[in-house]
């Protein structure tokens, strides 16, 4: 979370001002990449958006379905299908308007519910001072934590823009009326995000105080079943469903626009608006179905999401930031970032056997260094810009 806060400051004080008139009338990440690197890179980022959205939406659906299944006793397979189809249908039918309305409603639920739940549970744990006074020593480890270096690597990657410029966020940048609107967006994040994380931390430590022998992965289900009353159980279920669905529908909408406009419409030569809308709806449902298939895998939820962020970082965010800063943009920069980043990721996972959360950092760093190297060669006139 601290890495994301540094990214917010970078956006506010440095990067937001570069979203200028160059991006007028653009509606998706593919438009940006086409402007900087040409139609081949545009097509590639459309394909990349397909896979990235599948990973991220799969992570959200898997988290929600695992929770609902554990709490309700329903088969997780059927819960996954139901959650996936539900978010796909209202996103496909309503488009960005439906996503915006449901996201507002979902965040209202979270804003109201989370403080109430935290207060009730913390009081049952003895109050704030009692909670933090009796924390187990192993929960306070930092440098000696068994995953310290893995989290440290992820922190450094999180400080950069490369993990966070997701398709829904890029869509919002392009919809913003001015750089000041983007700055306001990140000031809100910078203020609100720590408050939410502090509340979640208090909730987690309260659960440890009340249920000290429970495994961390089982804290929330046991909190619902043993600590909260019936009314509060409904609130926390609504809060978790709202958090998961708000991310999934935003990704489905932004990525379906990206894939439909920059891959499907070009490949099948679809130019009529009505046909494009039908293609958009079809792609939304198709992405949700593929995401459900990935959600059935045994990969940890956090790894699924981070893999999606990583691939998007090397295939879009790094080349985009180079163009955003008005550096020379040649196609080789794009292809170098994409290929070096993805190869580095798989080398880190399968050859070096690095922990799952360390691999995105290796991929991001490798892709960035390769892009800088290409830029240095170009500026020394050892490379000539090729045709886009």
- Higher-confidence residue of 363 and 64: namely 363
155-178: per-residue pLDDT in tens?
877 788 887 888 888 888 888 878
Which of 368, 317, 322, 323 is closest to 341 using CA atoms?
A: 368
Those residues with Cβ within 8 angstroms of residue 311's Cβ, 6 or more apart along the chain or in another chain: 48, 51, 52, 55, 341, 342, 345
Of the pLDDT bands very low, low, confident and very high (cuts 50, 70, 90), residue 338 is very high
| pLDDT greater than 90 at residue 337 | yes
Q: What is the pLDDT of residue 306?
A: 75
Of the pLDDT bands very low, low, confident and very high (cuts 50, 70, 90), residue 387 is very low
Is the Cα dihedral 44, 46, 51, 53 positive or negative?
A: positive
Element (H, E) at 84: helix 76-124
Whole-angstrom Cα distance, residue 321 to residue 314?
11
Helix (H, G, I), strand (E, B) or coil at 18: helix
Of the pLDDT bands very low, low, confident and very high (cuts 50, 70, 90), residue 343 is very high
Cα separation of the two ends of the chain: 38
- Higher-confidence residue of 195 and 65: namely 195
For every residue of 300-369, DSSP letters joined together read -HHHHHHHHHHHHIIIIIHHHHHHHTT----HHHHHHHHHHHHHHHHIIIIIS---TTTHHHHHHHHHHH
Domains belonging to the chain, first-starting first, are: 2-300 (1.20.1730.10)
238-284: per-residue pLDDT in tens?
666 666 677 777 888 888 888 888 888 777 777 677 777 787 788 88
Those residues with Cβ within 8 angstroms of residue 270's Cβ, 6 or more apart along the chain or in another chain: 264, 276, 279
Of the pLDDT bands very low, low, confident and very high (cuts 50, 70, 90), residue 112 is confident
197-243: per-residue pLDDT in tens?
888 888 878 877 777 766 665 666 666 666 666 666 666 666 666 66
Burial of 217 (0-12, 13-18, 19+ CB in 10 A): exposed
Q: What is the pLDDT of residue 220?
A: 65
| pLDDT greater than 70 at residue 386 | no
Helix (H, G, I), strand (E, B) or coil at 4: helix
Q: What is the pLDDT of residue 117?
A: 80
Average of per-residue pLDDT values in the chain: 80
């Amino acid at each position: 979370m601290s890495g994301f806060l540094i990214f917010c400051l970078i956006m506010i004080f440095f990067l937001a001002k570069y979203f200028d008139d160059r991006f007028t009338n653009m509606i998706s990440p593919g438009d940006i990449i086409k402007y900087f690197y040409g139609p081949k890179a545009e097509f590639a980022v459309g394909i990349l958006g397909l896979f990235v959205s599948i990973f991220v939406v799969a992570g959200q659906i898997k988290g929600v379905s695992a929770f609902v299944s554990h709490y309700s006793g329903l088969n997780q397979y059927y819960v996954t299908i139901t959650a996936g189809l539900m978010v796909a249908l209202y996103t496909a039918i309503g488009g960005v308007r439906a996503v915006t309305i449901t996201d507002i409603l979902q965040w209202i639920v979270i804003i109201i519910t989370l403080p109430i739940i935290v207060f009730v549970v913390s009081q049952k744990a003895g109050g704030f001072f009692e909670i933090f006074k009796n924390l187990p020593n192993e929960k306070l480890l930092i440098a000696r934590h068994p995953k310290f270096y893995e989290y440290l690597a992820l922190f450094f990657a999180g400080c950069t823009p490369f993990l966070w410029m997701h398709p829904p966020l890029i869509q919002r940048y392009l919809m913003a009326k001015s750089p000041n609107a983007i700055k306001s967006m990140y000031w809100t994040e910078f203020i609100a995000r720590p408050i939410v994380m502090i509340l979640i931390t208090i909730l987690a430590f309260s659960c440890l105080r009340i249920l000290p022998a429970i495994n961390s992965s089982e804290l929330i289900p046991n909190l619902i079943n043993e600590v909260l009353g019936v009314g509060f159980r409904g609130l926390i279920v609504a809060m978790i469903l709202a958090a998961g669905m708000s991310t999934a529908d935003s990704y489905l909408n932004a990525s379906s626009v990206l894939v439909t406009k920059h891959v499907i419409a070009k490949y099948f030569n679809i130019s009529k608006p009505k046909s494009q809308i039908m293609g958009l709806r079809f792609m939304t449902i198709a992405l949700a179905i593929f995401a459900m298939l990935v959600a059935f895998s045994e990969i940890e939820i956090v790894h699924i999401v981070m893999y999606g962020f990583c691939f998007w970082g090397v295939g879009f965010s790094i080349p985009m930031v180079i163009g955003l800063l008005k550096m020379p943009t040649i196609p080789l920069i794009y292809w170098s970032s994409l290929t070096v980043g993805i190869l580095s990721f798989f080398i880190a996972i399968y050859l070096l056997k690095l922990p799952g959360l360390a691999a995105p950092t290796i991929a991001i760093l490798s892709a960035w260094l390769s892009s800088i190297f290409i830029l240095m060669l170009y500026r020394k006139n050892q490379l000539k810009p090729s045709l886009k």
